[in-house]
């Protein structure tokens, strides 16, 4: 009785360890490659499309001051030297940026303009975003 039970158990173990064929595994099946090609007219248009860089006029903005309450922030850096490098780059282009740290969160926020009232700041932010240039993703931060 014990021998027959042992033999049956061994047969079950051997049968369950049988390796499955590659066809049974979905991960081994190759994906069908896309055979669609772009039309030559589409490729020609793609080569001629140019997106002009919109240059925002720094004189249209109020210079940033650390004493104001509302800041138009264009970038945030956890490393101060990167914030200083971008600040220098913007100063060469005619902006008057300032680096502010609000709420001691460890981020050095680079502001290109600041305002005392919310309405002024909101109007300036709208103008900046409508220009769709380098600062289109600017945000308004309250001190």
User: What is the domain extent for residue 66?
Assistant: 58-142
pLDDT tens column, 90-110: 999 888 999 998 778 889 999
Using the predicted structure, report yes or no on whether residue 35 has a pLDDT greater than 80: no
Task: Classify residue 42: in a domain, yes or no.
Answer: no
As a whole number of angstroms, the distance between CA 120 and CA 137 comes to: 18
Assess if residue 17 is contained within a domain: no
Q: Are strands 70-77 and 139-142 parallel, antiparallel or unpaired?
A: antiparallel
By CB atoms closer than 10 A (0-12, 13-18, 19+), residue 63 is: middle
pTM listed for this prediction: 0.59
Mean pLDDT within 12-27: 63
User: What stretch of H or E contains 86?
Assistant: helix 80-92
User: Per the domain annotation, does 50 fall within a domain?
Assistant: no
Confidence (pLDDT) at 88: 93
Tally of structural domains, the chain: 1
- Tell me if 117 is assigned to some domain: yes
Domain for residue 45, yes or no? no
Please compute the mean of the pLDDT values over residues 110-137 and round it to a whole number: 90
Contacts of 16 (CB under 8 A, 6+ apart): none
Task: Return left, alpha or beta for 43; rule: phi > 0 is left, psi -120 to 50 is alpha, else beta.
Answer: alpha
Q: What is the mean pLDDT of residues 2-6?
A: 82
Instruction: Please name which of 91, 142, 82, 132 lies closest in space to residue 112, comparing C-alpha atoms.
Output: 91
In a domain, 12, yes or no: no
Residue 14 belongs to a domain: no
69: which DSSP letter?
A: S
Lay out the sheet containing 98-100: strands in order across: 98-100, 108-115, 70-77, 139-142
């Amino acid at each position: 009785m014990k021998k027959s039970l042992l033999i049956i158990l061994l047969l079950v173990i051997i049968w369950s360890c049988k390796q499955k064929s590659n066809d049974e595994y979905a991960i081994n099946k190759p994906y069908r490659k896309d055979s669609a090609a772009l039309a030559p007219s589409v490729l020609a248009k793609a080569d001629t499309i140019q997106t002009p860089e919109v240059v925002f006029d720094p004189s249209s903005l109020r210079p940033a001051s650390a004493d104001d309450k509302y800041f138009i922030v264009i970038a945030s850096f956890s490393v101060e030297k990167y914030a200083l490098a971008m600040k220098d780059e913007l100063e060469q282009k005619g902006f008057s940026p300032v680096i502010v740290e609000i709420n001691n969160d460890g981020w050095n926020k680079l502001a290109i303009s600041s305002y005392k009232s919310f309405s002024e700041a909101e109007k300036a932010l709208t103008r900046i975003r409508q220009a769709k240039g380098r600062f289109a993703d600017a945000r308004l931060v309250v001190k």
